[in-house]
Amino acid sequence: MLELKKYFSVNRDIFIRTLCLIFTFSFFTAVSAQQGDLILAANTILLQLWFIVSYGIDGFAYAAESLVGRFKGSLEHNKLARAVWYNVGWGLFLGVMGTLAYALFGNQILYIFTDKADVI
């Protein structure tokens, strides 16, 4: 029983975060549907773009967690600091590149998801 308690205490925050995300996305979709088919379609595309970006960010988060845990556990503080700064640097670089891609090619990206000009 103690093992389960430890397991749930470690995963509690992730579980709460996941529930909040599910609630938020469900609420967003429900409110969008109440606004009509066009709004629902447009917001669904926005949600898909959000998912693409969030999965990319999660990739950096997972890599950072792994490296920080490894270097902190082995007391390699120089490698820890370097890993954090590399992760921050690459995250900023890709964030800027993603922002530029959306700013410069926003309509073309949206047309990947639909050919309906009304939705875009």
The tens digit of pLDDT for each residue in 4-22 reads: 777 777 788 888 988 999 9
> What residue ranges do the domains of the chain occupy?
1-35, 37-120
Q: What's the CA gap between 26 and 43, in Å, rounded?
A: 12
Q: What's the CA gap between 86 and 92, in Å, rounded?
A: 10
pLDDT of 60: 82
Q: How far apart are the first and last CA of the chain?
A: 53
- Answer whether 107's CB lies under 8 Å from 120's CB: yes
At 99-111, the pLDDT tens digits run 999 999 999 999 9
Enumerate residue ranges in the chain where pLDDT < 50: none
Task: Count helices and strands (H / E) in the chain.
Answer: 3, 0
pLDDT of 20: 94
Sequence-distant (6+) residues with CB within 8 A of 102 are 49, 109
pLDDT of 59: 85
Q: What's the CA gap between 99 and 47, in Å, rounded?
A: 16
